[in-house]
A and B are shown apart, each in its own frame.
Chain A
Amino acid sequence: LAKTTQPISMDSYEGQEVNITCSHNNIATNDYITWYQQFPSQGPRFIIQGYKTKVTNEVASLFIPADRKSSTLSLPRVSLSDTAVYYCLVGPYNQGGKLIFGQGTELSVKP
């Protein structure tokens, strides 16, 4: 499975847009990019999954350039409740049964 690299931590303020970038230089042709969110002492929660270009849902947007060697999770107008660890995962479309997590990005949203 492709290795991912993310910033260890990020700070933001309420109301700002937050972009978290993930590098995955060795992504395979059939790999998808998936993001999870985890609050302290809780299990991770699926946010979004994409293959190329842009994917948007009610929570976030995922931007994937043409070479797919990186991806950016965009959280619009964050609030204090968005303070969490965000994980970028790369693997087959139906990898839900075996998720390989990296170190994640600890996002801290301040008032």
Chain B
Amino acid sequence: KAGVTQTPRYLIKTRGQQVTLSCSPISGHRSVSWYQQTPGQGLQFLFEYFSETQRNKGNFPGRFSGRQFSNSRSEMNVSTLELGDSALYLCASSLLQESGAEAFFGQGTRLTVV
């Protein structure tokens, strides 16, 4: 069974630009969550999508948005990039009811804003 796939793996953007990151969950997983990891703030929850609907949202500004498609694939968008958005962005998928707190993470997208 293929794992969670995130693309691209690395990205360099300029301040003010926008970026879209993609996540393909494990087949059959309908919950997709996004996390931001930085040395200063650690691992922080961004949002969760389930059946194309945002179900949970973390404490991030509106510049961070996402969506989920009917095949459960998800995208995350960050507009008007700031230097502080440089981070490892992680996507995770899970079965929820069947697997408790077990989520499967991708390798992440390393975003650098210059």
Contacts and interface: CB of A to CB of B under 8 A. Distances in A.
Interface in A93-111: 93-104
B97 A94 contact: yes
B66 interface: no
How many A residues touch the partner, as a band?
20 to 34
Contact of B107 (A42, A89, A96, A98): A42
Nearest to B30: A97
Given A97-B48, A100-B45, A42 B108 contact: yes
A87 to B, nearest CB: 7
A49 B107 contact: no
Interface in A35-66: 38, 41-46, 49
Among B48, B88, B91, B103, the one with the most A-chain Cβ atoms within 10 Å of its Cβ is B103
Nearest to B43: A101
Given A32-B100, A49-B101, A98 B56 contact: yes
Contacts of B96: 94, 96-97
A93 B43 contact: no
Contact of B45 (A42, A44, A98): A98
A70 interface: no
B87 interface: no
Contacts of A41: 88, 107-108, 110
Interface of A: 32, 34, 38, 41-46, 49, 87, 89, 91, 93-104
22 contacts: A34-B100, A41-B108, A42-B107, A43-B90, A43-B108, A44-B90, A49-B102, A93-B100, A94-B97, A94-B100, A94-B101, A95-B101, A97-B48, A97-B50, A97-B96, A97-B103, A98-B48, A99-B45, A100-B45, A101-B35, A101-B45, A104-B42
Given A32-B100, A43-B106, 6 more contacts: A42-B108, A43-B91, A93-B100, A98-B45, A101-B42, A103-B42
